[in-house]
Amino acid sequence: MANFDKKIKRIGVYTSGGDAPGMNAAIRAVVRVGIAQGLEVYGIHAGYIGMIDNQIHPLQLGDMANIIQRGGTILKTGRSLEFTKPEGRQKAVNNLLASKIDALVCIGGDGSFRGAHALWEEFKIPVVGVPGTIDNDIYGSDKTIGFDTAVNTALEAIDRIRDTAASHDRLFIVEVMGRNSGFIASHVGLAGGAEEIFTPDGNTTVDKAIDHIKEGIARGKSSSILITAEGQKPGRAYDLADSIRKKTGMDAKVSILGHQQRGGSPTAADRILASRMGAAAVDALQKGYCDIMIGTEGERLIQVPLDIVTKNEKKTQMDLISLANLLAT
Ligand code: F6P
């Protein structure tokens, strides 16, 4: 954690990386709390892309009307390769200084926070991070904005798949998002009664999954659902289906849920989390704290240095998977 002693008058807010339901609620909180505290709040379009392209515009209270329930991000988002280079960052900082932005709130995932940390380390621009990603893979926070909505969206799809799987006595492999993390997979796997859950880190094997399916069949089960996290690239479910077919002759239907998990109206839990975190980010800046992320520990909001957030990996809760396996027997 770092401190700065400059009195701030104008802050910027941006969303960066993959969008997540609840980002709008976080933007709304930053803008409305900031203005209530006498600050001017500017929105930066599409994260680091707009910082480099100088798309930085004032936001008013009225701009925040009717957005708390909307998925996506009204500020747009993106991933900027240029910002990973020193010249890109210099361009961005020149624009921030020209717009007289004293401090920033960055709503995004760990890639976005690496950028935020660099802004403080290299240019002493104070930034506070708010974790917004459906993946829930941010070290230092139990929950990230968007995760609850994504899990519920995926679960709704899985429940529907279960209806058709049961009607046809079929095996389904459902692939959920999460890139290198298994949080969505483990949560929807437990909540959706999956027979096996594959996380990206090789927690189980196709042989074990086949054993679980066969044990189920022996007990009279006629349909099964396996959940897999996508891993590095989407399509892992097809590889698993091929492998099961080759080993057993069983046919598996594949359903890749994909980007629908990123959209939709945020759940109450995500709106509340986003509102609290957005407000806490502004409060932290007002107190002169920066280079931190607002995280959660249970129900409590905490502040975690960005350095620690970005250098550590949050591990998938394997106990949820063991429980899911036990309960699916
Ligand atoms: O990080 C959020 C996420 O949705 C991951 O779960 C997924 O792997 C990735 O973004 C997809 O990114 P894109 O929308 O750029 O394809």
Question: pLDDT tens digits, residue range 202-220?
Answer: 889 999 999 999 999 999 9
Q: Quote the pLDDT of residue 201.
A: 86
The verdict on the CB of residue 176 being under 6 Å from ligand 1 is no
Q: What percentage of the chain carries pLDDT values higher than 70?
A: 100
Q: Is the pLDDT of residue 108 over 90?
A: yes
* 129 and 10 housed in the same domain: yes
**How many angstroms does the Cα of residue 9 sit away from the middle of ligand 1?**
35
**The amino acid at 304:** V
Confidence band of 6 (pLDDT split at 50, 70, 90):
confident
CA dihedral 113, 200, 21, 31 (to 10 degrees): -10
Lowest-pLDDT range, 103-117, 231-245, 259-273? 231-245
Residue 135 catalytic? Answer: yes
Out of 16, 135, 153, mutate this one to test ligand 1's pocket (max ligand atoms within 8 Å of CB): namely 135
> How much is the pLDDT for 280?
98
Please give the C-alpha separations between residue 305 and each of 69, 292, 309, in angstroms, as whole numbers.
30, 4, 6
Shared domain check, 8 and 127: yes
Same domain, 40 and 174: no
Q: What is the CATH number of the domain that holds 213?
A: 3.40.50.460
Ligand 1, atom 10, lies closest to the CA of 18
Q: How many angstroms separate the alpha carbon of residue 233 from the centre of ligand 1?
A: 9
Q: What was the pLDDT predicted at 233?
A: 82
**Is the Cβ atom of 115 under 6 angstroms away from ligand 1?**
no
Task: Work out how many domains the chain is built from and give that number.
Answer: 2
Q: Give the relative orientation of helices 183-191 and 147-168 as an angle to the nearest 10 degrees.
A: 50
Q: What's the pLDDT tens digit per position in 22-40?
A: 999 999 999 999 999 999 9
- The atom of ligand 1 lying closest to the CA of 262 is 4
Is residue 77 predicted with pLDDT exceeding 80?
yes
Whether residues 140 and 273 share a domain: the answer is: yes
Averaged pLDDT, 284-289 = 98
Per-residue pLDDT tens over the stretch 229-248: 998 788 999 999 999 999 99
Amino acid at 199: T
Domain around 60: 2-146+266-311
Residue 1 has pLDDT above 80, yes or no: no
Q: In whole angstroms, what is the distance from residue 161 CA to residue 199 CA?
A: 20
The pLDDT, as a whole number, for residue 197 is 97
Tokens read off for 175:
């692939």
From atom 6 of ligand 1, which residue's Cα is the shortest distance away? 178
* Catalytic choice (102, 135, 137, 270): 135
Measured on CA atoms in the order 75, 80, 82, 86, is the torsion positive or negative? positive
Indicate if 6 and 140 belong to the same structural domain. Answer: yes
